[in-house]
Amino acid sequence: MSSNTLTATGYINHHLQNLTFGQLPGDRGWGLAHTASEAKAMGFWAINVDTMFWSIALGVLFLWAFRKAARRATAETPTGLLNFVEWVIEFIDDNVRGSFSHKNDLIAPLALTLFVWVLLMNTMDLVPIDWIPGIAKWLGIEYMKVVPTTDPNATFGMAFGVFALTLFYSIKVKGPLGFAAELTMQPFQADNKALKVLFIPINFFLEFVSLVAKPISLSLRLFGNLFAGEMIFILIALLFSGGIALALVGGILQWAWAVFHILIVLLQAFIFMTLTIVYLEMAHSHH
Amino acid sequence: MNINATLIGQTIAFAVFVWFCMKFVWPPIVTALNERKARITEGLAAAEQGRQEKAAAEQQALKVTDEAKSQAQEILRRAERREAEVIEEAKVAARVEGERIVAAARSEIDKEVNTARETLRKQVAALAVVGAEQILGREVDSQAHSQLLDELATQL
């Protein structure tokens, strides 16, 4: 808990604050924000060190483990880690084959990376919420949010990556004109020339909204689910300071919510991956 | 919970991870998986082929034993036929031989009978001469009566 606020609001706010590095207000140079308002004042050119650290650490962990398995990959009987990795890869491959019908060597590794990475980041939510921030506090670090997917920066970052790929392949596969036609010539179609021209702005408005809605919904879905889960863990954790009876109830609730949360952790990672595949499939197919 | 440059950092991290995965993780594992799949398919095909070959060999073995059996029967039948033939031949030969022996014996007997008859004739002639000499009291000139005696002998 924060040293200056022992109230419930303070506790919650503290847990929702990233460790932000940026230009401190009042010409104090670059450094870590010590309060939420300081972090806010840093504006866009600041970085959430905890989000970056945990997401990169988990991504590296994923790639290290899978690379280790890939080095040992043979056509012989697989054992241990390789067996597990092959199981994951076949699961991803099945999913990609199921929803993606074109030839693109990027899609399957992209889906694998998204699924495992998001899954690992979500899984951080199952670590009791005060453990890592407690250690960080002991080491002198004020804020520490360990679940990168509860930071919209992380989910939007991935969604923008997916969005950029969607645009890239839309233009690559259909050509700039084909893509433009897709944005303006439907859903309203007409044989009459004048009507056609009239429909262009309407179609474009509708299609543009649906195009932009994809990455936003993709990232907000993941963020919202994980943020809500984290929030409930924080609220349950408040019970621990309310006496032995409440702490006991809190313990049971935390366990129950964690068990339920395993489902959300897995499901959200899966949904993020599947929707990415679907969006890219749409980018590859002509209407 | 502010949107800040972390967004860019995350996008870059994401891009690098995907690139690494596409370059160094996915291909070797999928290659190994496909290779194993091919190997299993091959193994199954080989097993199937082996099974078919075994069935064919069994068929072949059956055919060979059948042939051998029929050959043996053929040989047996031929041997039996030959046996019958040999026996038949032997029978014929024995009959011919027997007939020959009988014929020889018969001619021998005939010869013996003739000889005996000749001898007997001669002896009877001599006896008749002796008898006549005694009856007549004188010697019969055998030269002179030889014709008579011979006639007599022939009549005997």
Buried b / exposed e over A202-240, threshold 16 CB at 10 Å, is: ebeebbeeebeebbeebbbbbbebbbebbeebbebbebb
CA atoms lying within 13 Å on the CB side of residue A107: 26
Q: What is the ipTM of this complex?
A: 0.89
Q: Which residues of B touch A16 (CB under 8 A)?
A: 1
**Contact flag B22-A156 (C-beta cutoff 8 Å):** no
Q: pLDDT tens digits, residue range B63-82? A: 999 999 999 999 999 999 99
Q: Domain range for residue A44?
A: 3-284
Q: How many CB pairs under 8 A join A and B?
A: 136
| Preferred mutation among B10, B31, B35 to probe A, highest tally of A CBs within 10 A | B10
Q: Which of B6, B35, B39 sits opposite A51 (nearest CB)?
A: B6
Q: Which residues of A touch B40 (CB under 8 A)?
A: none
Q: pLDDT tens digits, residue range A225-264? A: 999 999 999 999 888 887 888 889 989 999 999 999 999 9
**Count of domains observed in chain A:** 1
Average pLDDT, chain A: 89
Q: Which residues of A touch B39 (CB under 8 A)?
A: 75
- The model carries a pTM of 0.76
The CA distance from B48 to the nearest CA of chain A, in Å, is 21
Do A186 and A233 form a contact (C-beta atoms < 8 A)? no
**Contact flag A43-B36 (C-beta cutoff 8 Å):** no
Closest chain B residue by Cα to residue A39: B2
Residue type, A15: H
Question: Does residue A186 surpass a pLDDT of 60?
Answer: yes
Q: pLDDT tens digits, residue range A110-146? A: 999 999 999 999 999 998 888 888 888 888 888 888 8
